[in-house]
Amino acid sequence: MTVAVETKAGAVSSNVQYRAFSAIFFLSGATSLVYQIAWMRKLSLFFGSDVYSTAVTLGAFMAGLCAGSWLAGRLGRRLTRPLFAYGAIEIGVAIYALAFAAILGLFDPLLTDIYQRTFVADSAIYQIVRAAIAFAILLPPTALMGATLPLVIQHFAVADRILGSRLGYFYATNTIGALVGTLAAGFVLLPRIGVTATVVMAAAINAAIGLAGLWLGTAAGPVKLETAELSVAQNKPQMARVLVLAAMAMSGFAALALEVSWTRVLVQSFSATVYAFAIMLVAFLFGIYWGSLRESGVVDRRERPAARLVMLEFGLSAYVAALSVLTYLVPSVFGFLVWSLTAVTAGNFGLASVIAQFVAASILIIPATIMLGATFPLAIKIYSRDIRERAGDTGTIYAANTFGALLGSLAGGFLLIPAFGVHGSLIAIACFFLLAALILNPLGEKPRDRRQTFIAGTAVAVGVACGAAVLVLPQQTVVNFNMQRSTHPEVIYHGEGVSHTVDIVRTPTQQTLMMIDGNIEADTTLIQRRHFILKAHLPLLLNRDPRDVAVVGLGLGVTLSATTHNPAVDHIQVIELTPEMLRAQQYLRHVTDNVLANPKVSVLIDDGRNFLNRSTAKFDVITADPIHPRISGVGYLYTREYYEAVRSHLRPGGYILQWMPMYAISRKSFDVAFRTFAGVFPNASFWYVRGHGLFVAGLDKFTIDYQALRERFAAPEVRRDFESIGLRSPEELMSHLLMDDQHIASYLQAEESLGPVINTDDDSYLEYATPHEFLERTKSIVDALAPFAGWDRSRLVGASPSELALIEDLSAKRLSVLDSELEQPVE
């Protein structure tokens, strides 16, 4: 059928439209990623931060993109002013973003009710309801986001000869916007202005680009095709189109499974800070952008697009298989880079770490994602057979790829890594890319050139060789920042679970270490045992009747074991996020006396925040033992809202103990944590043992019944625990009390010059600040605290004059050696 060439009506030229909309679509990509990052943070608090919650949230997000692109493809072909519809969609996203928190709150009573009635008895019901709520909340905005690309193609791809180039260009433009949005959200907006203000800013931008889209859609007039030769259907049989869809779904599956595996590799190497995922995502998006941009410039001139797509899938298969071996080198390369750059930058570890992460992630990720980015415009070029169906074809390909990505993200975390480990997962993912290539292979134009045969053969050979290498290479145990070079530990347990990798190792000095995702979290040295034992016994000695105890975080199990030794304790509820921590306890029975078999102990696999947000349980003592706040997500266990949740679960007269690291953290960050805790628990006291602070607070005014403390200290198992860390009397224990509430208030008031910042869910200062503070010294904090050390002796009720004199003498001696003990070698 022959159609006359027509021009577009309207006051705005096509060139101006093209340039103006490029900027608009760039900003749209940026706001989309800002929303994704901000909403994921909000939802991790609403649903909990366990891996199932993350998977459900990501699944709902991608399902919305898939549904939106498919629906827009079906409906977009009927629109004569698709840019007007695009503008309305962007305004809709802005409105929903502003209402997101309120919408989330509407579901809070329902989720709490389901949790309380079903979580312990049948958690499957709770998981189903949680998934349904996630889909209900996320499908509307993400469907709107997914609808944008088909509408853009409906307006701008008005000829078959420019379909591939326009699609590739706008896909690349939106992707580079997403990259900038990731950088802005992860490194500037969330650290500086918090989640709420970031979302408001993104919504304002969305509203502006929506209005611009409405204006362009009105001014441009109806879309008119520019082609002179328009076939109703090109010679592309339906089976060929089905094969393209199947291959793109398989490629999307492999791509997201690869992202999950990459994240695990990089997290273990970089330390699981809040920046590690953002850096990985930036590298991923840059490769997609560059690959799609380069391909968009040539795709419409390719005579053999199917052969090109087949070779890319074979190339991806070979590269990912090679990664299964190359990733063994990542920890060493990153460790070398970070310490070399730290030296070059005169000790600026934060800057060095970020640069080293970008370099290592880019080397690992970008080659594969360049190939992935090139596949999308090629697939559309191969799939499309009627220019009038451009929106529908774009939406269908995008939906198939996104649907595969949804399944891949779930399979990568839940199936591949637990079954095969990270390196074995990469081999499996290479096989999926190979399968995508084989699905497409029948479409390769004849005659086939030798290069395609060579690439196919090379991909298979590389995959077989690397698979054999993974089977032969020893299990890799990673310690962040190349610190494993100093020792040659014996691996006792290695577990790669759906969310974390847990290692138990024994050092040459016969100490036992626990590592989570490459971070050393606990060990059995005396310096560590001191605060483990104190964390257990301090609140139990201060509480009048400590029968029911909650322990947030299992860890090495020493604190839990010590808690069972107090004869007054009847029940201990452990809330632990990672199942592999329980499995690791089988190898720690010599350390914890097989504490999980103790009848006093019950364990609940759940996120600590989620338990406190949803449960109605009350406790006499809650021991909060999170890991270092520099680890991503852990900052939520140091926020004002978390302490308020803990307070609501304490019975009258109840106590909380919160561990606070004083290493790898700046004086300002420590003060932020201190101020946040004391703001919720004004009756606080601060206890110190080398390198570790213990915030202890009760609901009532801070006093110590010394005679009751003496009696409880004398219980045989309790005394044995204290003697194991060198504390032989209650007086020696009291010498570790550094401040009471009055001295804490004086200290924090004097430190206001550093900024009256507190750590909140919305503005998680510690999570963003502490990754840069790895080389900070404990001495700076101790030196700031020392002038304010002291406590009102009237708070110690029932002590005799001789006991009080001994305590004062021991406290003065301890205060005099706070600095010097930091220089002593670790026992």
Asked if residue 588 and residue 562 are part of one domain, the reply reads yes
Assess whether 196 and 166 both reside in one domain: yes
Residue 802 resides in a domain = no
Least confident of 25-29, 461-465, 611-615: 461-465
Nearest to 550 by CA among 574, 570, 518, 534: 574
The answer to which of 25-29, 100-104, 132-136 has the lowest mean pLDDT is 132-136
Residues 469 and 516 reside in one and the same domain: no
Nearest to 401 by CA among 376, 421, 426, 381: 376
Give the integer Cα–Cα distance in Å for 614 and 715.
36
- 801 in a structural domain: no
**pLDDT tens-digit series, residues 753-776:** 656 889 999 999 999 999 999 889
The pLDDT of residue 386 is above 50: yes
Nearest alpha-carbon partner for 761 in 217, 62, 45: 45
**Residues 240, 285 within the same domain:** yes
Query: The domain that contains 489 carries what CATH number?
Result: 2.40.50
Domain range for 505: 480-520
Composition of the chain by helix, strand, coil, percent to 5: 70, 10, 20
- Name the amino acid, one letter, at 597: A
pLDDT at 228 over 70: no
- Interhelix angle 274-296/349-383, rounded to 10 degrees, is 40
- 557, 660: one domain: yes
Asked whether residue 809 is domain-assigned, the answer is no
**Do 166 and 253 fall within a single domain?**
no
- Percentage of residues in the chain having pLDDT higher than 90: 48
Cβ neighbours of 566 (radius 10 Å): 24
The C-alpha angle 525, 529, 530, rounded to 5 degrees, equals 120
219 lies in a domain?
Answer: yes
What is the pTM (predicted TM-score) of this model? 0.89
Diameter over CA atoms, the chain: 108
| Token representation of residue 451 | 């290069």
Judge if 648 and 662 occupy the same domain: yes
What's the whole-number mean pLDDT along residues 565-580?
93
Q: In the predicted model, what is the mean pLDDT of residues 16-37?
A: 90
User: In the prediction, which pLDDT does 270 show?
Assistant: 75
741: Cβ–Cβ under 8 A, 6 or more apart, which residues?
678, 682, 683, 684, 685, 702
CATH number at residue 71: 1.20.1250.20
- Cα torsion at 35, 38, 40, 42 (round to 10°)? -130
Q: What are the two backbone dihedrals, phi and then psi, of residue 445, each rounded to the nearest 5 degrees?
A: -65, 145
Closest CA to 64 of 83, 44, 92: 92
Amino acid, res. 95 = I
The CATH number for 762's domain is 3.40.50.150
The pLDDT assigned to 388 comes to: 63
Question: Is there a domain that residue 104 lies in?
Answer: yes
Domain membership of residue 826 (yes or no) is no
Secondary element (H or E) of residue 523: strand 519-523
Mean pLDDT value across residues 425-436:
91
1 has pLDDT over 50: no
Whether 597 has a pLDDT exceeding 50, the answer reads yes
Residue 271, pLDDT score:
75
Is the pLDDT at 72 greater than 50? The verdict is yes
Q: What is the DSSP letter of 561?
A: H
Tell me the C-alpha distance between 665 and 672, whole Å: 11
Residues 100 and 23 in one domain: yes
- Predicted confidence at residue 796, as pLDDT, reads 93
The verdict on 184 and 307 lying in the same domain is no
Q: Give the span between the Cα atoms of 246 and 252, in whole angstroms.
A: 10
pLDDT score at 449: 65
pLDDT band at 234 (very low <50, low <70, confident <90, very high): low
**Within this chain, do residues 241 and 325 fall inside the same structural domain, yes or no?**
yes
With a CB cutoff of 8 Å and minimum separation 6, the contacts of 371 are: 291, 312, 315, 316, 319
Q: What's the rounded Cα separation, in Å, for the pair 239 and 243?
A: 6
**Tens digit of pLDDT for each residue in 337-385?**
888 999 998 888 889 988 988 998 898 899 999 999 999 888 888 887 6
Q: For position 385, what pLDDT does the model report?
A: 66
Write down which residue in 182, 203, 230 finishes a domain: 230
CA atoms within 13 A on the CB side of 679: 20
Do 392 and 527 sit in the same domain of this protein?
Answer: no
| The pLDDT of residue 510 is above 90 | no
C-beta neighbour count of 729 within 10 angstroms: 18
Residue 482 pLDDT greater than 70, yes or no? no
**226 — pLDDT class (breaks 50, 70, 90):** low
**How many domains is the chain partitioned into structurally?**
4
Residues 384 and 332 in one domain: yes
d(CA 140, CA 518): 38
Last residue in a domain, options 212, 230, 248:
230
pLDDT tens string 282-318: 999 999 999 998 988 888 888 888 888 999 999 999 9
